[in-house]
Amino acid sequence: MKFLKISMYLSKMLMGFSLMSLFIGVSFYLSSKVLFIEWELITIFSLSLIMTILVDWMSLIFMGFVMLISSMVMMYSTIYMKEETNYVRFIWLVYLFVLSMVLLIISPNMVSILLGWDGLGLVSYCLVIYYQNVKSANAGMLTILSNRIGDVAILLCISWLFNFGGWNFYYLMHMFTEKDLWMIEFLVVLAAMTKSAQIPFSAWLPAAMAAPTPVSSLVHSSTLVTAGVYLLIRFSELIGVSLMLLMISIWTMLMSGINANLEMDLKKVIALSTLSQLGVMMMTISLGMKELAFFHLLSHALFKSLLFLCAGVFIHGMGDIQDVRDLGGVSLLTPITSLYFLGCSLSLCGFPFLSGFYSKDMILESYFMMTGLNSLIYLMIIISILMTGLYSSRLAIMLFLKPLGIKKMNNLCEEMLMVLPMSLLFYSATVSGSLMMWWFIPPVLIILSMVVKMMIFFLTMTMMILVVLYFVNLVLLNSSKNIKIISFFGLMMNLPMLSTYLLMPLLKLGETLLKQLDQSWLEMMGGQGFIKNTMLMADKADLFNFLNLKLYLSLFFLTVIVLLMIL
């Protein structure tokens, strides 16, 4: 029981730090203040090891949000994880994750960014394999191998920055042209795509749902996956308007939206909705609107982490059942959690005056006001956004309106230490959108053409008809003709298979090299084998050093015979 108090103390400490960080961040924004700190860690002769820290309104506010969500997850875990044998290890891993995230946020230096970036990947792997079964081991391997591609990209970026005389990226855009920095731009975008699970690296995010639900809430919804988005926001002046990134993000939005409508695992549906929103953020950055992307990043972090915590209450109370076909009627047993879940789903869909409405509405209207748009891209974006309403409606109907049956015998109790953090997150998610809109976004005038308004109206009506058809007549989905199409889209366009089958030959090659080199030739010729062979040869040479009478007489007579033959 004494260990349970650790998470409560850490939760209160992180809450205090988050409020302080948010307050300072708002004051920095209002006063247009930026601190660039150079901290000299150690000096040996003429060599100085200097750590640089960038403190501005963006880093302070993001850091405040990360610590706020972490404090709520810590408090929630006090009840959710109290039966776990390795509870202390879990708390340590979560705390190390927060430290890695803070290091990444405040770093304008690629070397310290690598420390935070690699720390996130390693701690994320340890959290995914927390339950130590076959499913979590496979998910952890897919997660860390996908993220290693981004780590290698950051390492190559550090190497390439040797050409520019330093690892601080803050001055690069002001001193060099875009032609000089094309390699850095490519490597940073590649790293951000792996961490934010954009196509073709999307398979690891739903697989990472093998981790405990508080981990999914903190790591795989609000902080880790947005690290790539945050890195691109920092490099947004270098990237500018990118058509390639726009196409990748739109495909990610569309693929994840379709797959979420066919998925039956509750946590994977929410993970795929996270993937869809990451596509929205990447699309916003590719259009050059970094402030709106940051706005959506913050508002999305609050309501998406709460969605996972609500799902954790349902799963925990139902005896670890995650299939939505086996859940239902939870609104009767957990009214408060169901209210929060429904409110966050509405915020995700962009319901007016909730936090998601302010950010998503601003992004879409800014995009619709652009001239010279491609009609196909336009249509794909609208369908992707409407897919959010479709899978949110499907999830709400299956959880709240479907009868529960015999599972009403389960005790779905809402304990105080689980409801309290969810309540704080819900109130934060409700009011944060309007507060950030008032503070950070200047008044804008949105003027849309009649064609745009009519197109959105007709597509919305079509999507509502599809919702009705989906729930009234499921024969269309179960017919044998459509089973291949459904399997294709339900498996993320076969990305999990491609991600594993493409990596398996590399792992086989590693196994072959291990057996043929490390355990055979290198074992014999290098390291211990070399020392062993040298010692054997030295033993044979030492035979001549022994004081042996028989050997002495033999050598004497041999010498005499040789001399006589010569003479």
User: Which of 455, 477, 499 finishes a domain?
Assistant: 477
Q: Is the pLDDT of residue 192 over 70?
A: yes
**Domain assignment of residue 441, yes or no:** yes
Q: Is the pLDDT of residue 370 over 60?
A: yes
Residue of 120, 107, 52 lying closest to 231 (CA atoms):
107
Do 253 and 186 belong together in one domain? Answer: no
The CA distances from residue 244 to 197, 287, 297, 524, in Å, are: 16, 11, 21, 51
Do 234 and 335 belong together in one domain? Answer: no
**How many structural domains compose the chain?**
2
User: Which of 175, 204, 238 finishes a domain?
Assistant: 238
- What's the pLDDT at 408? 55
Q: Is the pLDDT of residue 426 over 60?
A: yes
**Domain assignment of residue 557, yes or no:** no
**Domain assignment of residue 512, yes or no:** no
What single letter denotes the amino acid at residue 98?
Answer: V
- What does the alpha-carbon distance between residue 294 and residue 286 come to, in Å, rounded to a whole number? 13
Q: Is the pLDDT of residue 475 over 50?
A: no
Do 463 and 380 belong together in one domain? Answer: yes
Please give the residue range of the domain that contains residue 53: 1-238
Report the share of the chain in percent with pLDDT over 70. 86
Do 280 and 215 belong together in one domain? Answer: no
pTM (2 decimals)? 0.82
**Which helix (H) or strand (E) segment is 78 a member of?**
helix 57-80
Do 454 and 361 belong together in one domain? Answer: yes
Do 58 and 143 belong together in one domain? Answer: yes
What single letter denotes the amino acid at residue 217?
Answer: S
Q: Is the pLDDT of residue 405 over 60?
A: no
**Domain assignment of residue 514, yes or no:** no
R_g (Cα) of the chain, nearest Å: 30
Q: Is the pLDDT of residue 479 over 50?
A: no
Mean pLDDT score across all residues of the chain: 80
| 78 Cβ neighbours under 8 A, 6+ residues apart | 4, 7, 8, 11, 417
The string of DSSP codes covering 497-516 is: HHHHHHHHHHHHHHHHHIII
- What's the pLDDT at 145? 84
The predicted-structure confidence for 251-270, as pLDDT tens digits, reads as follows 888 888 888 888 888 888 88
Do 244 and 159 belong together in one domain? Answer: no
Among 12-16, 181-185, 441-445, where is mean pLDDT lowest? 441-445
Mean pLDDT of the 418-426 span: 86
- What's the pLDDT at 387? 83
Residue with tokens 């869909």: 349
Between 339 and 178, name the one with better pLDDT. 339
**Antiparallel, parallel or unpaired: β 47-55 and 35-44:** antiparallel
**Domain assignment of residue 498, yes or no:** no
Do 148 and 273 belong together in one domain? Answer: no
Token digits of residue 262? 């066919």
| 285 Cβ neighbours under 8 A, 6+ residues apart | 229, 232, 233, 236, 239, 245, 293
Q: Are 344 and 304 in contact (CB under 8 A)?
A: yes
Do 2 and 81 belong together in one domain? Answer: yes
Query: How would residue 527 be classed by pLDDT, with cut points 50, 70 and 90?
Result: low
The predicted-structure confidence for 288-347, as pLDDT tens digits, reads as follows 888 888 888 888 888 888 888 888 888 877 777 777 877 777 777 778 888 888 888 888
Q: Is the pLDDT of residue 460 over 70?
A: yes
Please tell me whether the peptide bond between 496 and the residue prior to it is cis, using omega within 30 degrees of 0: no
The CA distances from residue 186 to 80, 153, 238, 412, in Å, are: 42, 9, 10, 49
User: Which of 191, 220, 238 finishes a domain?
Assistant: 238
**Domain assignment of residue 53, yes or no:** yes
Q: Is the pLDDT of residue 478 over 60?
A: no
The winner for highest mean pLDDT among 139-148, 443-452, 548-557 is 139-148
| 58 Cβ neighbours under 8 A, 6+ residues apart | 25, 233, 294
Do 245 and 233 belong together in one domain? Answer: no
Count of helix runs (H) and strand runs (E) in the chain: 26, 2
- What's the pLDDT at 476? 47
**Domain assignment of residue 16, yes or no:** yes
**Domain assignment of residue 533, yes or no:** no
What single letter denotes the amino acid at residue 400?
Answer: F
Do 180 and 285 belong together in one domain? Answer: no
| 498 Cβ neighbours under 8 A, 6+ residues apart | 200, 203
Do 168 and 63 belong together in one domain? Answer: yes
